[in-house]
Amino acid sequence: SAATTLLPLRFTDLEDPSYNPSLPSNGNITYATGMKSFHAVLNNGTIIHGVGVFREAYDIVGLGWLWNWTVDIPWLGNVADLFYGVFARYRTDITRGSSVRELIRRYEEERGVKQQQDEGGEGKGEEEVSASCQRCQEKVAVSFMAE
């Protein structure tokens, strides 16, 4: 939309039924990947994640100095990355009452049921969903993307 092009940041709802990870603006970031850590897709297609997303987003809105210490003092940047990793792992336990892993499992289960209904066929079996979730665990997350 016209309003979106005026904003330096575009936030993406991964749970929106119309979310399509294969769009270039979404950088092939799946629900599972996006839920595990903040990701951003820059205009040039570069994907960043974790503390780097906060640094970039704050810089875009003129507040980059708030996160510059994560680059200027490398050991503090490493500490920030460590704390962010813990935060990312447990944030949904606090904010939504469910683990990231559980949210991914439910999302994939619901998508499997919807796909089954849409196709009029069989949905994913429990073993297949479980295997799919295991693959998700190996990926890293899109809560918002910078344009």
Render pLDDT for 57-85 as a digit per residue (tens, 0 to 9).
999 999 999 999 999 999 999 999 999 99
Element (H, E) at 9: strand 9-11
Does the pLDDT value for residue 113 go beyond 80? Answer: no
pLDDT at 115: 55
pLDDT at 81: 95
Residue 93: CA atoms inside 13 Å, Cβ hemisphere, count?
Answer: 7
Q: How far apart are CA 142 and CA 39, in angstroms?
A: 4
**Where are the alpha helices (H) located in 64-99, listed in sequence order?**
69-72, 74-95
**Where are the alpha helices (H) located in the chain, listed in sequence order?**
2-6, 31-36, 51-60, 69-72, 74-95, 100-119, 126-137
By CB atoms closer than 10 A (0-12, 13-18, 19+), residue 11 is exposed
Closest CA to 31 of 113, 118, 133, 146: 133
Average pLDDT over residues 126-142: 35
Q: How far apart are CA 143 and CA 70, in angstroms?
A: 21
Q: How far apart are CA 55 and CA 72, in angstroms?
A: 12
Please tell me whether the overall predicted TM-score, pTM, comes out greater than 0.85 for this model: no
CA Rg, the chain, in Å?
A: 17
